[in-house]
Structure 1
Amino acid sequence: MDHVGPGAAERGHDSGTGGPTREADRPALRPLTARSIVLSTLLGHHPAELPARALVRAGQVFGTAEGTVRVALTRMVAAGDLQQRDGTYQLSARLLARQARQDDSRAPRLRPWAGDWEIALVTGERRSAAERAALRQAMATLRLAELREGSWLRPANLERPRPPAAADQCAWLTGTPEDAPAPLAARLWDLDAWARQARWLLSTLAESDRLADRFAVAAAILRHLLTDPVLPTPLLPDHWPGDALREAYAAFEEEFRTTVLDRVD
């Protein structure tokens, strides 16, 4: 199984905030499996469908045998993760929604910020556990943070539709904090920790020579971008690494496409 080499993982990197990266600031790099290779390849491809030979090729690049990849494809179809048609595999509707969230994290749709905040107040008195979980997932997708139970907010600088769970369970308002907004943002999101993790990912990607290692780091970058609050610049710490992380992933995606996918006839 391919892992990032110990040289990058064991050293503490300068976080850019005055000290070495701590162990807790190192996002998990998941080991590559046939399933993760197939899933990450399709999630990063548009449209999210590829012939079996392309997915087999991707697996072989990482030392995974053709038979192992084909078994994974069969199991993923049976589990409802993939749909198969005429030798081509495509993501299910659920995973297409995940791809859309990843795409949005890579290229957020911004709008000019005039200082206003979105505020969502839960209106239902009794909600099932499933409804609560659906709302939390919706708020994570919308990048809102919870100030206290039932009260969610963020700067109004993003354009995106509201999932049904968020629209149905909340009353939505627009307001402006009376106090300085930057301390409020720092209270809602641990921005320094996010930045340290991002810088560790950037340095680990730069120091990883093997494509398999870089693939694992790139997958972690995508997961980390999903948690970027995408705040207006005045609310961010200096030298925020969000854009640098997006650029690094875009460069890897091009490398993977030209190295692997473009070589498939």
Structure 2
Amino acid sequence: MPALKPVTTRSALLTLLLGAELPSLTTRELVAAASVVGFAEPAVRVALSRMAAAGDVVRDDEGRHRLSDRLLERQRRQDRATRPAVHDWDGSWEIVAVTTAGRTAADRADLRTTLGELRLAELREGVWTRPANLAIDWPAAVEEVSDRFTGAAATDARELAGRLWDLADWARTARELLAATDTTDPVLRFTACATSGRHLLTDPVLPAELLPRDWPGEELRASHVAYKQWVNDMRRSLVDAG
């Protein structure tokens, strides 16, 4: 089993808001949802107050809580992680060559993070690539400092993918998380599913031709989506009953 870190009340509430089918939730709805996964109402109310003060959530005049603007992109990334926009692969690769020099260390680190979030891997310093099977919305932060083009791999594509991503390790962790969700303990299941959401963000979403046999990516996505739906259904039932 993977080493599952306990989920704090703040992390639990963020996970619930990130996975909610509504743009905002009332305190009552959040208390109900958090109670399902082992968090008491006083702790939830304290955490919500602190999250509002820290700018994690915004509370409107009707008492509903929504994610702050800076966390909405994280929600969009998680949505894309469970529903990646893939298309048939023609064998070509996306290539991004960073061309702008003189950037600060912070700017370089931000660019690396952005390219990683777009599921590219660094072939060598300043050159990033991935199979061209994803519909990528290229941000200005990438467009302004790089040249982009597509091309064929000069080496065996499957071997190249194996060098760029540790596929065996990703698959092993995914299978461990799937096993960890097979429990009747709601807290352990929630912890495993919250961890699954983060793990899906690192799935390279490669074409099937480049993946090992029995790749668990789709199974983990389906499990994560099903669990989010269960939590949302349970939240609604508890609120209706109350």
> TM-score, normalization: structure 1?
0.87
Deviation of residue 181 (structure 1)? 0.4
Contact map agreement 2:85 2:135 (CA 8 A) in 1:
yes
Letter of the structure 2 residue corresponding to residue 138 of structure 1: T
Residue 233 of structure 1, aligned match among 195, 208, 215: 208
Residue 88 of structure 2, aligned match among 112, 119, 132: 112
- Over the aligned positions, Cα root-mean-square deviation in angstroms equals 1.3
Counterpart of 1:147 in structure 2 is 123
Counterpart of 1:178 in structure 2 is 154
Quick one: structure 1 residues 76 and 126, their matched pair in 2 at CA, closer, same or farther if it must change by over 3 Å? same
Counterpart of 2:52 in structure 1 is 77
Deviation of residue 213 (structure 1)? 1.1
Secondary structure, counterpart of 1:260 in structure 2: helix
Deviation of residue 261 (structure 1)? 3.4
- Give the share of equivalent positions with the same residue, in percent: 47
Letter of the structure 2 residue corresponding to residue 70 of structure 1: R
Once the two structures are superposed, what CA deviation does each residue of 1:36-59 show, in whole Å capped at 9, x if it has no partner? 121110000123310010111123
Runs of 4+ in 1 over 3 A off after TM superposition: none
Contact map agreement 1:218 1:249 (CA 8 A) in 2:
yes
Counterpart of 1:248 in structure 2 is 223
Letter of the structure 2 residue corresponding to residue 36 of structure 1: S
Matched, 1:67 2:42: yes
User: Where in structure 2 are there 5+ consecutive unaligned residues?
Assistant: none
Contact map agreement 2:24 2:66 (CA 8 A) in 1:
yes
Once the two structures are superposed, what CA deviation does each residue of 1:226-255 show, in whole Å capped at 9, x if it has no partner? 000000000001110000111111221222
How many matched pairs?
A: 239
> TM-score, normalization: structure 2?
0.94
Quick one: structure 1 residues 262 and 132, their matched pair in 2 at CA, closer, same or farther if it must change by over 3 Å? farther
Q: Distance in 1 between matches of 2:22 and 2:230?
A: 18
User: Where in structure 1 are there 5+ consecutive unaligned residues?
Assistant: 1-8, 10-25
Letter of the structure 2 residue corresponding to residue 117 of structure 1: W
Residue 169 of structure 1, aligned match among 138, 145, 148: 145
Matched, 1:56 2:31: yes
Matched, 1:132 2:108: yes
